Structure 1
Amino acid sequence: MLLDGFGRRVDYLRLSVTDRCDLRCSYCMPEGFKGYEEPRHWLSFDEIERLLAVFARLGLKHVRLTGGEPLLRKNLPDLARRLAALPGIDDLSLSTNGTQLAKHAARLHGAGVTRLNVSLDSLDRERVRAICRRDALPRVLEGLEVARSEGFHLIKINMVAIAGTTDEDICAMVAYCMERGFVLRLIETMPLGETGRGIGFLNLRPVRERLRQRFGLVDGVVPGGGPARYLVSPDGGFQIGFITPISQHFCATCNRVRLGVDGVLHLCLGQNDAVDFRTPLRSGCTDAGLEEMLRAALNSKPWRHEFSERPQQMVRFMSSTGG
């Protein structure tokens, strides 16, 4: 069992396989961003597999493939197949913006990816264009239909709640997800970099209560290793989660860390604590040495973020951290 210095069990890794993305969402990455990691610094599939095997032997259970946009990484289904076969990994999922999903859904499902999280902030084409700075909605909707036909165990729609923008679209998104059997998750914006700090924050706690009343929802639970608090329809046919890192943080139950494409393990999304695993991987470090590094890293995992107290301290972007 992997425990941090506060006794929290850490069994969930968000694994970034690229920092590239084909969208430029206003809360994530600046339009003209050029600060990508050099490909030679990316962990290879062999390095990822070896490192995650070490993590899994110590208690890692859940792995989510992220980016940037992970489907831009060449041959990603091959990596998924290798990770799904690792002893101890019980759950392999993927977060995507959906633009490449129609092309890759079948291979991902066949490789062992059982769950998808798809970013979709509105069903209004022009609003999506304004947020993503690309005309992405038709491709995302197509990808979702292809993925649904492939029979993934669970498909979740991640919708960032932006005051004055996407708050107008929440009820339409609820209806869309109800009709298709998708789980909806609303996410508060986080002050990661200037992009995150410049977006209108929407407190989801009153939104949650309004939706509870309007749709007759009750408290519920949805499987997965994430932090969302859920409301469900009385028959269980619809679920909506609320991820509230600002208005109601969930740090006391945090069970995750993030591994960047460059091999840097980020211990908290809202702090700068991190450990470089790429250098020891490429310098002959033994598996026992990697295990020791991981245990030491988790022992220094911070208790909580400081988004409210020190929003200016986070200068990296979400795309470079791993979604």
Structure 2
Amino acid sequence: MLTDTFGRTIDYLRISVTDRCDLRCTYCLPQGFKGFAVPKDWLTLEETARIAAAFARLGTKRFRLTGGEPLLRKGLADLAADIARCEGVEDISLTTNGTQLAKHARALREAGVRRLNISLDSLRGDCVKQITGADCLPQVLEGIETAKAAGFERIKINMVPLKGINDADLDDMAAFCIRHGFILNLIEAMPMGSTGQEHANVSLQPVLAQLQQKFGLIPFEGSIGGGPARYWKSADSSFTLGLITPMSRHFCATCNRVRLSATGNLHLCLGQEDKVALRPLLRDGCTDAELETAIREAVMRKPEKHEFVENPKKIIRVMAATGG
């Protein structure tokens, strides 16, 4: 197993396959942003699969495919299938904005993707357009319906509450998730890049109190997917709420993940600059043993915690460049 200097077991790799996205969510990518990596600098899918296999040999059990928008990368289902074939892999999931999901949901499920996180910040078309810069709500809803029909084991709806924009939509989003049997994941906006730093932080602690009172939520003692969310359930289990609170109640002491960027950088903490470049090793012809050694040494450099609260202007890279 991979263990860092703080005794944390790292058994979860988030893999970005592209930093490109077809939306411009205000908390992620600035309007007009053009600082994307060029495709020749991306890992090939074969290189990505090789890194994933090395992590699997080192005890990593969970893998998440992310972007940017991962469904913009051709061959994604093939990559998922390659990872699913690795011994010891227990879970493959995908984070998507949903715009391309109707075209790919069934192939992803057949390839071994078990769970989906779909970003949807409102059920109001004008609000979605304000946040994403695109009139995409019908596409996203079609993707969600297709994914539900494809039989994924679990679908979570990721919502980032933004003050004065969509924070009044919580009840509608909860009702939507109850109706479809989805989990509602609420995520605090993080000061990643200039556009993320422009948003006022919305603490989810009062939001939790509001939803607890309305839905009679009680804490759920357990993990649902191996990520950082803490969960609450209604007494009849019809509604499950997840909270990801890097700002108001961070979870650094139990962090179990690292992130692989589309260009082959292994980011060791979302809120720090520590990273290790794996692409040069691969293209210089490293052996599997050398790759595994590089991964072990990288994990030993994982920082103790982020500094989003203490130093909110620190991280200038946009979220899409890191991997969701």
Which bin holds the TM-score, normalised by the shorter protein?
over 0.9
Contact residue 192 and residue 314 of structure 1 kept, 8 A: yes
Amino acid at match of 1:113: V
Tell me the equivalent position of 1:233.
234
Contact residue 19 and residue 320 of structure 1 kept, 8 A: yes
Q: What whole-Å deviation, never above 9, does each CA across 1:203-223 have from its counterpart, x for those lacking one?
A: 101110111111111111352
Structure 2 unpaired stretches of 5+: none
Taking the aligned partners of 1:25 and 1:291, their CA distance within structure 2 comes to 36
The answer to whether residue 118 in structure 2 is matched with residue 123 in structure 1 is: no
Taking the aligned partners of 1:254 and 1:263, their CA distance within structure 2 comes to 21
Taking the aligned partners of 1:59 and 1:318, their CA distance within structure 2 comes to 27
Tell me the equivalent position of 1:56.
56
Contact residue 162 and residue 200 of structure 1 kept, 8 A: yes
The answer to whether residue 103 in structure 2 is matched with residue 103 in structure 1 is: yes
Tell me the equivalent position of 1:247.
248
Tell me the equivalent position of 1:196.
196
Tell me the equivalent position of 2:177.
177
SS of the residue aligned with 1:21?
coil
Residue 78 of structure 1 and its aligned partner are, at CA, apart by 1.1
Taking the aligned partners of 2:96 and 2:224, their CA distance within structure 1 comes to 19
Taking the aligned partners of 2:203 and 2:313, their CA distance within structure 1 comes to 19
Q: Aligned residues: percent identity?
A: 57
SS of the residue aligned with 1:142?
helix
Amino acid at match of 1:310: N
Structure 1 unpaired stretches of 5+: none
Matches within 5 A, 1:60-209: 60-209=60-209
Contact residue 164 and residue 200 of structure 1 kept, 8 A: no
User: TM-score, structure 2 length as denominator?
Assistant: 0.98
Residue 237 of structure 1 and its aligned partner are, at CA, apart by 2.6
Taking the aligned partners of 1:200 and 1:122, their CA distance within structure 2 comes to 18
The answer to whether residue 293 in structure 2 is matched with residue 261 in structure 1 is: no
Tell me the equivalent position of 2:213.
213
Residue 201 of structure 1 and its aligned partner are, at CA, apart by 1.4
Which range is displaced more, 187-196 or 74-83? 74-83
Residue 51 of structure 1 and its aligned partner are, at CA, apart by 1.2
Residue 50 of structure 1 and its aligned partner are, at CA, apart by 1.2
Residue 249 of structure 1 and its aligned partner are, at CA, apart by 0.3
SS of the residue aligned with 1:86?
coil
Tell me the equivalent position of 1:321.
322
In the TM superposition, structure 1's runs of 4+ consecutive aligned residues that sit over 2 Å from their partners are none
Taking the aligned partners of 1:254 and 1:146, their CA distance within structure 2 comes to 32
Taking the aligned partners of 1:29 and 1:168, their CA distance within structure 2 comes to 23
Residues matched between the structures, number: 323
Amino acid at match of 1:271: Q
Taking the aligned partners of 1:98 and 1:11, their CA distance within structure 2 comes to 26
Residue 236 of structure 1 and its aligned partner are, at CA, apart by 2.0
Taking the aligned partners of 2:257 and 2:316, their CA distance within structure 1 comes to 21
Which range is displaced more, 284-293 or 300-309? 284-293
Amino acid at match of 2:259: R
User: TM-score, structure 1 length as denominator?
Assistant: 0.99
Taking the aligned partners of 2:204 and 2:91, their CA distance within structure 1 comes to 28
Tell me the equivalent position of 1:47.
47
SS of the residue aligned with 2:13?
strand
The answer to whether residue 25 in structure 2 is matched with residue 34 in structure 1 is: no
Taking the aligned partners of 2:238 and 2:215, their CA distance within structure 1 comes to 12
RMSD: 0.8
Residue 256 of structure 1 and its aligned partner are, at CA, apart by 0.4
Q: What whole-Å deviation, never above 9, does each CA across 1:249-272 have from its counterpart, x for those lacking one?
A: 000000000000000000000000
Taking the aligned partners of 1:115 and 1:222, their CA distance within structure 2 comes to 14
The answer to whether residue 289 in structure 2 is matched with residue 304 in structure 1 is: no
Taking the aligned partners of 2:14 and 2:138, their CA distance within structure 1 comes to 27
